[in-house]
Amino acid sequence: MTDNVSPWLEHGLSEQEYNLVLELLGRTPNYLELALFGVMWSEHCGYKNSKKQLKKLPTKGPQVLQGPGENAGVVYLGDGLAAAFKMESHNHPSAVEPYQGAATGVGGIIRDIFAMGARPVASLNSLRFGDLDDGRVKRLLNGVVAGIGGYGNCMGIPTVGGDLYFHPSYRGNPLVNAFCLGLLQADKIYKGSASGPGNIVMLVGARTGRDGIKGASFASEELSDSDRDKRPNVQVGDPFMEKLLLEATLEILERDLVVGLQDLGAAGLTSSGAEMAGRAGSGLFLDLDKVPMREEGMLDWEIMLSESQERMLLVVEPSKAAAVAEVFEKWDLLAVEAGLVTDDGNFTVRRGERVMASIPAELLTDKVPLYDRPQRVPDYYEKSKKADFSALMCHGDWAGLLKSLLASPNLSSRAWVFEQYDSMVGLNTVVRPGGDGAMLRLPGSDRGLALSSDCNSRYVYLEPRRGAAIAVAEAALNCAVLGARPLALTNCLNFGNPENPEIYWQFVKATDGLAEAAAALDTPVTGGNVSFYNEYDGLAIFPTPTIGMIGVIEHIGNRVPAGFPAGGLNVILIGESREELGASEAHHLLTGRDEGEVPELDLALTKRLINFLVAAAAGRLLRSAHDLAEGGLAVALAECCFPGDMGAAVTLDDGLSAAAALFGESQSRVLATADDASLDAVLDSLERYSLPFSVVGRTTDDGLLTVGHGSDTLRAKVSELKDAWSRALPEAAAL
Amino acid sequence: MTVKACVLVFPGSNCDRDNVRSWEACTGLKADLVWHKESSLPDYDLVIVPGGFSYGDYLRCGAIARFSPVMAEVVRLAGLGRLILGICNGFQILTEAGLLPGALSRNKNLKYICRDVTLRVENNKTAFTSRYAPGQVLTIPVSHGEGGYSCSPADLAALRDEGRVVFRYCAADGSVSPDDAPNGSLDNIAGILGRRGNVLGLMPHPERLAEEILGGTDGRALFTSILDALSGGPKS
């Protein structure tokens, strides 16, 4: 027991929370017990500031086999196959030690996926950094990308896509959100549940050391300049160990040797043990004398809170323990019998026969105090709606502006990033990184799986509710332009300090928007992660609710490319273009300002657009389809020209200013092509789905992009645009 | 005759199943997965040493894997003239095991590189390349952090003189200049044969572009050439 006057402080609890512990437990906890409460009631493990808001999210649907609450969500894909997928943040560790922080973020999410019994087949990552004119930010970017590649490449899991944006708000607190997806048979989902009293609890994989101790608490604090000291809080990854752990785990699952399993992530043995017992409503004890150690003299609480990587807890029937141990031995891995499932409802920590801590598991997992934090509309909110767009409206050199946008940090080619990742291992990557979304083929099935991650955080900052809804709509459209029906989503909700009422307001509004869009588009939320306290020296990041969306196409042969495949095709602009320059990338590029009204979002129209795209792909009506996003129509046209070095001749007659027509970011728009023979069928279909459209021109094979708008003309050589677009990021990121 | 093929599995191999799949897709034949602890192999006609990160590539790529029990069998089968194909990490392992000369070192830009590259077929009179035309330019992906080939001047002279440089990194038009080697390989070397002509090591991954749906089929002829050589099929 501690004799500190305020024993709760050391464990990150408030005095009220400490009093609640006393009341629930009916006695004074000892030091170890209080440490267990401290991590389990942290925001990172207990979601105490977010759970009430997360309950708004739609989580059900016929496609959902497993919703939130397990290691990962699972949805049905068809043909007996299911996908387990989830996204998680590793922001603070990456800020302090970018390579290991990012690498262990990847490792952690991969374990979540194979803990469901799924073989991981694809990863995405969503990254945010400050501006690249800062040497420290360059080192963070280089380190994070190398760390993601270093772990994922070694695992043999392809990294097939993701998204990357830069903004000063992320300067000291980058975002590293890692997404992983695995495939499994729909009738073979495993859960993190410690059921069956008398069953053996096995600890497998790596030894336990002092790395990453209190990582969960670290994630629940703001960053500051003194965080160099936090380096010991960052875990160290060993992807080779994890590769062995993956293969050994899948082998024992294949042979039906396990009742339940759970990876050791945040708060290590504490959270995995308590959660397994809590889910099963059983009890469980762990004997710390049995835990294989990396170093001598570790204290009980250090063992319980260690976040050493590449470890799993298994629950195994006694008759199968020897067979499990044999499989792990084949893979040169440790597997020890570290405890038992009990029926007393307690999560108990022992040293041999001595009980060091014993707490009803549900107090740790289900009695976390949940808070409605105070909210306040931020000062910036009304002020930032007004904006002066004269720099953009009067620019005139549209080709020059397009070239500058394509070479800007947020719109330039991401090849520098994704070529450092193995995107092809596994032989399933049919649409590689670099387009709207990626697509995988599914073994033993004619179906294809689309994946995409997205979030424009400038929109979310300026109008949190609509911005979050746009992130969902955009991720869904990224799947739909490939011809895939969006199926379900995971998310990573990155925000500042929730104890600040303005930040909490952003969080409440953004989750409202997320809930609304997910319901409207019939893409339930199957899980995710909340990351608060993303602040550096008191400055919060832009609110960033990153969306990871998956979708399915019935026949992968019907997938639609993003780029123009040939000259002489009709170019169709689908959706409604408005005079919307607010929050645009072009305005930001010219002024450095984040302001203006965020573009309108019509979710019903978005839904119809998705339905049209899925039907048009199935009917093989379109030759290409690309979703319009940052940079508007002009940037989308250039992006469509790049893959095949094509050109286009387009004339716009939309009644808008040239600036808005070319660079406005009106939502729910797609640039598609059709050949003459199918044009009528495409236009009929667009009318049936009540979608606004106009046939704006033709693709060409002369490598010239020409856009006429009244008396204005944008004329550019595609090769010059592509050169600027390709070179920008490698040059900006070079150390 | 039936062709017996296997793909080795080291701890950390990750292209093992991919090679089984592409071998089957290209030839219609099965291949066994063989665990690295096997110390006695049947007389396979073809052994594929696959890509990946054997033993995490800790110490040095392939440096630990060469001591796996199965490698003595690979050396024995190579001595019998059976075909041995090492791809990426497999190539690294074969150089560590002494079945191929030289070594692979960090890419010149010090970064992992995964993308399609173009290769020129330098020798199509081999058991692995008979279905390619001489000078044919292939699109095949690379995916490695340590693919820069180097060897002694004497080894290089022998490789050139004996036609054992099988693939070189080249430009799309087939021309070869140092800038075309993404990893800084000596003499743009992408793949080489052993002295007897039955061992091929290459850094690019032919198994990754052997089906149209994956974006190309230029890797396919490598597998069908092997089948021809082993089954006495058509020679070009």
Of the pLDDT bands very low, low, confident and very high (cuts 50, 70, 90), residue B96 is very high
What b-and-e string marks burial along A162-194, b requiring 16 or more CB atoms within 10 Å of the CB? bbbbbbbbbbbbbbbbbbbbbbbebeebbbbbb
Over 80: is that where the pLDDT of A228 sits?
no
Record: contact A243-B11, CB cut-off 8 A:
yes
Q: Do A424 and B214 touch (CB under 8 A)?
A: yes
Share of chain B above pLDDT 70, in %: 98
Is the model's pLDDT at A728 over the cut of 80? yes
Q: How many CB atoms sit inside 10 A of residue B80's CB?
A: 10
Query: Does B124 map to a domain?
Result: yes
Flag whether pLDDT at A232 surpasses 70. no
Contact A448, A442 (CB under 8 A): yes
CA–CA gap between residue A126 and residue A493 (Å, rounded): 12
Report how far residue A386's alpha carbon sits from residue A523's, in angstroms, rounded to the nearest whole number: 34
Q: How far apart are CA B121 and CA A646, in angstroms?
A: 30
Alpha helices per DSSP H over A258-389: 268-280, 300-305, 321-330, 361-365, 380-383
On the question of pLDDT at A19 being above 80, the answer is yes
Check A426 against B18: CB less than 8 A apart.
Answer: yes
Average pLDDT of the residues in A585-612? 98
Chain A neighbors of B22, CB-CB under 8 A: 427
Q: Which residues of B touch A441 (CB under 8 A)?
A: 213
pLDDT at A324 over 90: yes
DSSP for B72-138, written as a single string: HHHHHHHHTT-EEEEETHHHHHHHHTTSSSSEEE--TTSS-EEEEEEEEE---SSTTTTTSPTT-EE
Instruction: Tell me if B100 sits within 8 A of B165, measured CB to CB.
Output: no
CB A183 within 8 A of CB A118: yes
Q: Is A555 on the interface with B (CB under 8 A)?
A: no
Residue A528 has pLDDT above 60, yes or no: yes
* B55: nearest CA partner in chain A: A240
A419: chain B residues, CB-CB within 8 Å:
113-115
Give the pair of three-digit tokens for residue A592.
């450095």
**Cross-chain Cβ contact A425/B15 below 8 Å:** yes
Please provide residue A700's backbone torsions phi and psi, each rounded to the nearest 5 degrees: -135, 165
Question: B209 in a domain, yes or no?
Answer: yes
Residue A542 near residue A463 (C-beta atoms within 8 A): no
Neighbours of A560 (CB within 10 A): 26
Mean pLDDT of A286-309: 92
Backbone angles phi, psi at A292, to 5 degrees: -70, 130
Mean pLDDT of B124-141: 98
By percentage, how much of chain A surpasses pLDDT 70? 97
Work out how many domains chain B is built from and give that number. Answer: 1
Give tens-digit pLDDT for A143-199. Answer: 999 999 999 999 999 999 999 999 999 999 999 999 999 999 999 998 888 788 999
A119-128: per-residue pLDDT in tens? 999 999 999 9
Asked if A611 and A481 count as a contact pair (C-beta separation under 8 A), the reply is: no
Strand order in the sheet with A175-185: A64-66, A73-78, A81-89, A175-185, A119-129, A159-166
Asked if A154 lies within 8 A of B18 by C-beta distance, the reply is no
Mean pLDDT of B73-88: 97
pLDDT of residue A226: 62
Structural contact between residues A107 and A236, judged by C-beta atoms closer than 8 angstroms: no
Range of weakest confidence among A265-279, A625-639, A645-659, B190-204:
A265-279
Residue A424 to residue B208, Cβ atoms within 8 A: yes
Q: Which of B21, B141, B145 sits opposite A424 (nearest CB)?
A: B141
Contact criterion met (CB < 8 Å) for B14 and A243: yes
Q: What are A165's strand-pairing partners?
A: A128
Residue with more model confidence, A217 or A688: A688
Average confidence (pLDDT) over A547-576: 98
Within-domain flag for B149: yes
Q: Which residue has the tokens 């450095």?
A: A592
The answer to whether B55 contacts A146, with C-beta atoms less than 8 Å apart, is no
Specify whether the CB–CB gap between A270 and A40 falls below 8 A: yes
Residue A464 in tokens: 């949190």
Domains of chain A: 1-41+191-368 (3.90.650.10), 560-735 (3.90.650.10)
What residues of chain A lie within 8 A of the CB of B11, using their CB?
240, 243-244, 331-332
Alpha carbon of B196: minimum distance to chain A alpha carbons (Å): 31
- The β-bridge partners of A648 are A699, A705
Answer yes or no: is B78 within a domain.
yes
How many contacts does A have with B, using Cβ atoms within 8 A?
Answer: 83
pLDDT of amino acid A225 = 63
Across chain A, what does the average pLDDT equal? Answer: 94
Q: Is the pLDDT of residue B233 over 80?
A: no
Pairing of strands B5-9, B32-35: parallel
d(CA B177, CA B163): 19
Q: Do B11 and A420 touch (CB under 8 A)?
A: no
Tally of CA atoms within 13 A in the half-sphere of A342 that contains its CB: 17
| CB-based contacts of A319, cutoff 8 Å, min separation 6 | none
From the CA of A55, how many Å to the nearest CA of chain B? Answer: 40
Structure tokens at A609: 């657009």
Q: Is A547 on the interface with B (CB under 8 A)?
A: no
pLDDT of A2 strictly over 50: no
pTM: 0.95
pLDDT digits (tens, 9 = 90+) for B7-51: 999 999 999 999 999 999 999 999 999 999 999 999 999 999 999
Which chain B positions have a beta carbon within 8 Å of A333's beta carbon? none
The answer to whether residues A206 and A241 touch, using CB atoms and an 8 Å cutoff, is yes
Helix, strand, coil % over all residues of chain A, rounded to 5 = 40, 25, 35
What DSSP line would sit under A645-690, residue for residue?
A: T-EEEEEE-SSS-HHHHHH---SS-EEEEE-HHHHHHHHHHHHHTT
Does the beta carbon of A435 lie under 8 angstroms from any beta carbon of chain B? Answer: no
- Using a CB-CB cut-off of 8 Å, the residues of chain B touching A155 are 14
Domain holding B128, by residue range, is: 5-231
* Predicted local confidence at residue B1, as pLDDT: 62
Q: Give A565 to chain B, closest Cα distance, Å.
A: 14
Interval A36-59 mean pLDDT: 92
The tokens describing A667, both together, are 């939502």
Burial A635-661 (b: 16+ CB within 10 A, else e): bbbbbbbbbbebbbbbebebebbbbbb
CA distance A585 to A595: 10
Closest residue to A427, CB basis, from B56, B114, B214? B214
The residue from A90, A167, A587, A588 that is catalytic is: A90
The answer to whether the Cβ–Cβ distance between B56 and A238 falls below 8 Å is: yes
Residue A420 has pLDDT above 80, yes or no: yes
- Residues of chain A neighbouring B213 (CB-CB closer than 8 A): 430, 441, 556-557
State the average pLDDT over residues A12-41.
94
Contacts of A331 in chain B (CB under 8 A): 11
Name the one residue in this structure whose structure tokens are 């992009």: A705
Smallest Cα distance from A558 to chain B, Å: 11
**pLDDT score, position A7:** 85
Query: Would you list the DSSP string of B172-205?
Result: TTS---GGG-TT--GGGEEEEE-TTS-EEEESS-
Cα dist from B190 to A50, A671, B181, whole Å: 53, 40, 8
The pLDDT, as a whole number, for residue A435 is 87
Please name which of A592, A595, A571, A572 lies closest in space to residue A583, comparing C-alpha atoms: A595
Active site residues of B: 88, 205, 207
| Other C-beta atoms lying within 10 Å of the C-beta of residue A709 | 21
Sign for the pseudo-dihedral over CA of B52, B56, B58, B64: negative
Residue B217 belongs to some domain of the structure: yes
How close does chain B come to A245, measured CA to CA in Å?
Answer: 10
Q: Does A426 touch chain B (CB under 8 A)?
A: yes
Question: Are B213 and A441 in contact (CB < 8 Å)?
Answer: yes
Q: How far is B163 from chain A (nearest CA, A)?
A: 31
Whole-angstrom distance, CA of residue A190 vs CA of residue A115 = 7
B179 by Cβ neighbours in 10 Å (0-12 / 13-18 / 19+) ranks as exposed
> Given B12, B18, B115, which is nearest A427 (Cβ)?
B18
CATH classification at residue B64: 3.40.50.880
Q: Which of B25-34, B58-67, B217-226 has the lowest mean pLDDT?
A: B58-67
Residue of A nearest to B213 (CA): A430
Domain annotation covers residue B236: no
Which pLDDT does position B153 carry in this prediction? 98
pLDDT band at A222 (very low <50, low <70, confident <90, very high): confident
Report the interhelical angle of A718-733 vs A398-406 (nearest 10°).
Answer: 40
> Has residue B81 been placed in a domain?
yes
Contact call for B112 and A149, based on CB within 8 A:
yes
Element housing A93 (H / E): helix A91-96
CB B90 within 8 A of CB B48: yes
Residues 199-218 of A with CB under 8 A from B: none
pLDDT of residue B151: 98
- For an interface test with A, give the residue of B15, B58, B114 to mutate (most A CBs within 10 A): B114
- Is pLDDT above 80 for A529? yes
Give the confidence band of A12 by pLDDT, cuts at 50, 70, 90.
confident
pLDDT at position A265 is 83
pLDDT in tens, B183-199: 999 999 999 999 999 99
A555 belongs to the catalytic site: no
**Terminal Cα-to-Cα distance of chain B (whole angstroms):** 20
Please indicate, yes or no, if residue B89 is contained in any of the structural domains: yes
**Which residues lie below 8 Å from residue A104, measured CB to CB, with a gap of 6+?**
A90, A93, A151, A212, A234, A235, A236, A237, A309
CB contacts of B117 in chain A (<8 Å) are none
Q: Determine the residue type at A642.
A: F
**B141/A332 touch (CB, cutoff 8 Å), yes or no:** no
Distances (CA, A) of A415 to A547, A670, B208: 21, 23, 19
Residues B209/B140, Cβ–Cβ less than 8 Å = yes
By mean pLDDT, which of A49-53, A118-122, B232-236 is the weakest?
B232-236
Q: Is A634 within 8 Å of A589 (Cβ atoms)?
A: no
**Residue A484: closest CA among A493, A496, A494, A475:** A475
Chain B residues in contact with chain A using a Cβ-Cβ cutoff of 8 Å: 11-15, 18, 21-22, 51-53, 55-58, 111-115, 141, 143, 145, 205, 207-208, 211, 213-215
**Contact residues for B74 (Cβ-Cβ < 8 A; gap 6+):** B8, B47, B49, B84, B97, B99
For residues B146 and B92, the answer to whether their CB atoms sit within 8 Å is yes
CA distances from B179 to B187, B188, B206 (A): 11, 9, 22
Alpha carbons B231 and B126: distance in angstroms, whole number: 14
